[in-house]
Amino acid sequence: MKYLTGSVEHALDGKNRIRIPKKFKDAFGEDETLYFVRYTGGCIAVYPKSSIDERLEALKDIKSDNKELLRAKRAILGAIQEVEEDNQGRTTLSAELREYAGIDKTVLTIAMGDYLEIWSPERYKSETGAMSLEDAYGVLPF
């Protein structure tokens, strides 16, 4: 999979459907299964199977005797759903996902290397604050 970079603002259609932007879809690969995940900060992550499998591998060893880890495992696995596209490449954002992410009509899709984040533009601005690129370079070793 190609490293995902960039962002795209786009709209839900009248039936609350979106298309994963072509530049990201192409980077995932044509046959890659994708998953929506209710993610931290109030966004929806989009993981390809290859990336989500790596993250879920650590959950396989969680046993029922550790109640805190088991609750976390349930929360994480319960927050994942397979992306189902129609024959025109559209996928419906369920009412549950839209409500969780605060999405109304417009979405902002942000590339995060090996996955995507789908945000309400307003929530994204609120979550990221006024961080400039100069500030970001000061925080991350880039």
The domain limits of the chain are: 7-139
The pLDDT score that the predictor gives to residue 130 is 63
Mean pLDDT of 97-107: 96
Confidence of residue 135 (pLDDT cuts 50, 70, 90): confident
Quick one: DSSP state of residue 3? P
- Is residue 49 a contact partner of residue 35, using CB atoms and an 8 Å limit? yes
Residue 30 has pLDDT above 90, yes or no: no
**What does the radius of gyration of the chain's CA atoms come to, in whole angstroms?**
16
For residue 66, the model assigns a pLDDT of: 85
C-alpha dist (Å) from residue 72 to 29, 56, 62, 75, 109: 31, 12, 10, 5, 26
Three-state secondary structure call for residue 14: coil
Q: What is the CATH number of domain 7-139?
A: 3.40.1550.20
